[in-house]
Amino acid sequence: MKWKVMGEGENIIELLLKNRGIKDKDNFLNPPPPKSPLKIPVKAIKRVELAVKNQEPVIVYGDYDVDGICATAIVWETLNKMGAKVLPFIPRRENEGYGLSIAGIDNIDTQTKLIITVDSGIVAHEAVAYAKKKGIDVIILDHHEKPKALPKAYAIIHTDKLCAAGIAYFFSCVIASEARQSLLELAAIATVCDMMPLTGVNRSIVKHGLKSLNETNRPGLKALYDVAGIKTVGVYEIGYMIGPRLNAAGRIDSALTALRLLCTKDIAKAQEWARQLNDINKERQAMVEESVTHAHQAVSSQQLAVREKIIVIEHESYHPGIIGLIAGKLTEKYYLPSIVISKKDGVSRASARSISGFNIIEAIRTTEKLLINAGGHPAAAGFTIETTNISDFKLQIIEYAKLKLTDNLLEKTLRVDCKIDIKNVNHSLFTALCTLEPYGMGNPQPVFCSEVTVLNTRTMGAIGQHIKLTLENGLEAVGFNMSHFAAKLKAGQKVSLAYTLDLNFYNGKTTLQLKIKDIIFH
């Protein structure tokens, strides 16, 4: 792995802000309450007001991931409080598929006069036209990459600077003429889980949303905290504990369970649904583990990571709800864009993950004549395809990758913020770094590098897969899944460590700890 060291010096906070392109230091370190960057069309506001006044049936048409679920909850709760005759609708992955669809429209209330889509709709040309024929107006709230031509919806509210729940939050603030903290906390969950850059307005959403999440009155979130063992909510808890449980329902069951959990005021039901989501998540974890093992075997046996610049695999056993997770694991291991296809009779579904510098949705759209539909972002996307077209798709996308993926793009690079003397690593530095939180996309946890002398090395973990180093000044460093370094590390040896700083709580003691990202031997 190549290291790219961004700077060196003692004024560490200033250097970190510079590395992140932060020019307004005060606003970054002390984010103001979130202010909308959107221009909400007046016609969209008037249409909602008319629907409320005339008691027209309204559907909030969501999506089955965390962003879609939270966005649906935000708009539904807002309209419900305004007195609208409104129902939420989350498509089932296996039946209606992703986004606004003709099948989905056929499954909603036949009296519906207005559909508000959240987290989808920007590529739903046929579905929007179909709704219009049925006398249904469609307002689209979406953040996915725009196609060349937009659907002919009643109104479109779009930005790629916010997640769908962020758009839904600001839309709700306008139509209801108030900003509610209970909605901001849902926008914060989605902003983290949808991996939006935590700068600008997104940083404000998460910073203020975290405060609300830790003081929430939602029975569903409280129940979820209990089953997950969460005491304090931070970005980690959202991304790795709350998000996966909310996501699990839409992956292998019905996302309505997660939506009901977020919106219910019934404590007993909240506890029941939280337990259900916890159980579904365990099932999802087992499915992913089995499928990822199968996928690694397929990549290895076909030498895909050696022969090609993009991994494309398909199999009948891959559940469509977890193919994105499989693709993510493949990209993480091989550092190649990965596309995983859930192969079925007739129509198959695919999910893709990419590496820095390779726009995966742009790549997929070069094969659009072979696809039924496609949508997503530069780093993650999905599409449906007739199964008979998979072979041709693979040939075309592999050729495209050969042309666009240079050796430079395929070399994994570790971005190191600052080279510092190990003697300057102390609690004062850690406290100063905390002012940069919350960390996330666009504002990653700072990575440092230092030359150190290793005094002792030992392995730990159930199968000795991790390492712990004792360093010259009494500091300890841990490397997860880095046991392959253990045999090379000798007492008294000088090495360069790339690491992040964290606190370790053990036996009532709090100590500073380095989390190793990589090691260079001299």
pLDDT, residue 290, reads 96
Q: 337: helix, coil or strand?
A: coil
**Alpha-helix residue ranges (DSSP H) falling in 379-484:** 390-404, 427-433
Query: Which pLDDT belongs to residue 501?
Result: 96
Rounded alpha-carbon distances, angstroms, from residue 182 to 35, 87, 186, 191, 424: 16, 19, 7, 15, 42
pLDDT in the model for residue 252: 86
> Which of left, alpha, beta for 393 (phi over 0: left; psi -120 to 50: alpha)?
alpha
pLDDT of 505 reads 84
Element holding 138 (H helix, E strand)? strand 137-142
Structural domains of the chain ordered from first start: 2-29+414-521 (2.40.50.460), 31-191 (3.90.1640.30), 302-404 (3.10.310.30)
The predicted pLDDT at position 427 comes to 92
pLDDT at 344: 94
pLDDT value at residue 94? 75
C-beta of residue 521 within 8 angstroms of C-beta of residue 488? yes
For every one of its 522 residues, what pLDDT tens digit does the chain have, with 9 covering 90 and above? 899 999 987 789 999 999 999 999 999 999 999 999 999 999 999 999 999 999 999 999 999 999 999 999 999 999 999 999 999 999 988 777 788 999 999 999 889 999 999 999 999 999 999 999 999 999 999 999 898 899 999 999 999 999 999 999 999 999 998 878 899 999 999 999 999 999 999 999 999 999 999 999 999 999 999 999 999 999 999 999 999 999 999 888 889 999 999 999 999 999 999 999 999 999 999 999 999 999 999 999 988 888 899 999 999 999 999 999 999 999 999 999 999 999 999 999 999 999 999 999 999 999 999 999 898 889 999 999 999 999 999 999 999 999 999 999 999 999 999 999 999 999 999 999 999 999 999 999 999 999 999 999 999 999 999 999 999 888 999 999 999 999 899 999 999 999 999 998 877 888 999 999 999 998
Return the pLDDT at 246: 96
Check residue 9 and give its pLDDT.
77
Distance CA 450, CA 521 (A): 12
CA dist., res. 69 & res. 262, Å (int): 9
Q: What's the pLDDT score for residue 67?
A: 97
| CA dist., res. 413 & res. 156, Å (int) | 39
Q: What is the pTM of this model?
A: 0.89
The pLDDT, as a whole number, for residue 302 is: 86
